[in-house]
Amino acid sequence: MPDANLRPVKRALISVSDKSGLVAFAQALAKHGVKLVSTGGTAKTLIEAGLAVEEVASVTQFPEMLDGRVKTLHPAVHGGILAKRGDPSHMDAIRKHGIAPIDLVAVNLYPFAATVAKGAPFDECVENIDIGGPSLIRAAAKNHADVAVVTAPADYDEVLQEMAAHHGATGLDLRRRLARAAFARTAAYDSTVAQWFARQAAEDFPEALIIAAALKEKLRYGENPHQQAAFYVGGSPRPGVATAKQLQGKELSYNNLNDTDAAYELAAEFSEPALVIVKHANPCGVAVAGNLRAAWDRALASKVA
């Protein structure tokens, strides 16, 4: 019996800043008979690779304008993404206005965080705040019942495998997972922008504290063995537990990380070699010396440096 939740991909909109794996992905879509719609530099890359591409300006019948600030913000694009395929009134509406459905949206966002990290001036950072990208992603994710949204090159292979397994269609489970990832990505992106604006205004305590963090690892257990825990990192390059690399040993627990963080942060208070011994986040031996071995001996003996 056919799966009623399968949705064939006949038309895809691709607009990416990170072009990793782009050409191979688009070529695979084309082999499935998917019509490609694209924008700006993405379209140029695909055309140079020999792919047939319909540029967004020909879809909207309106040129890209304002230095690319406006290109996909148009009913001919968003109508094709947001139309519910099972709703006759939706389908009648897009047919009436000559809008073709878009079944897959592959978009990743302007590199705002990377632009800030390289120390770019204020105006350049502002220009790297993506507007059309998040709008496309959110539209496709909202209509995930019918549309697949791909926000990272790492997901290309899974989408292609799904289409290969289902004769060019995607299943609802995959579309839902991609939608969850999409909303998380746009939320994290907005969080990064909000934090940057707060720093520009020297706000130590903004009215709304918005934090985005990525899962680094699931932990063996929480503060107690019957509890679950996970370790999330915010992306700061600051040295510490979040940027440390585990070289050996079994998976860490919450208490392992908590103790390690307490020891590291206390040792970092000193400008000379320091050694901290911690149990349950409480320092039980701290010493400084001319070298780490001497500091270790002192800390272990609980001697004052």
Q: What six digits make up the tokens of 50? A: 């020999």
| Contact present, 34 and 12 (Cβ < 8 Å) | yes
Q: Is 280 a catalytic residue?
A: yes
Of 44, 279, 280, 303, the active-site residue reads 280
Enumerate residues 6+ apart whose C-beta is below 8 A from 29: 9, 12, 36, 104, 160, 163
Does residue 279 carry a catalytic annotation? no
Torsion of CA 20, 17, 134, 186, to 10 degrees: 50
Burial class of residue 250, CB neighbours in 10 A (0-12, 13-18, 19+) = exposed
Neighbours of 272 (CB within 10 A): 10
Contact assessment for residue 2 and residue 169, using Cβ atoms and an 8 Å cutoff = no
Enumerate long-range contacts of 121-130, CB under 8 Å, 24 or more apart.
122/200, 125/196, 127/67, 129/193, 130/17, 130/189
Distance between CA 270 and CA 284 in Å, rounded? 17
- Tell me which residue of 103, 63, 55 sits closest to 47, measured CA to CA: 55
**CA 203 vs CA 123, 128, 238: distances in Å:** 19, 22, 20
Nearest alpha-carbon partner for 107 in 89, 128, 130: 130
Catalytic residue among 10, 19, 35, 142: 142
Q: Catalytic residue positions?
A: 142, 280
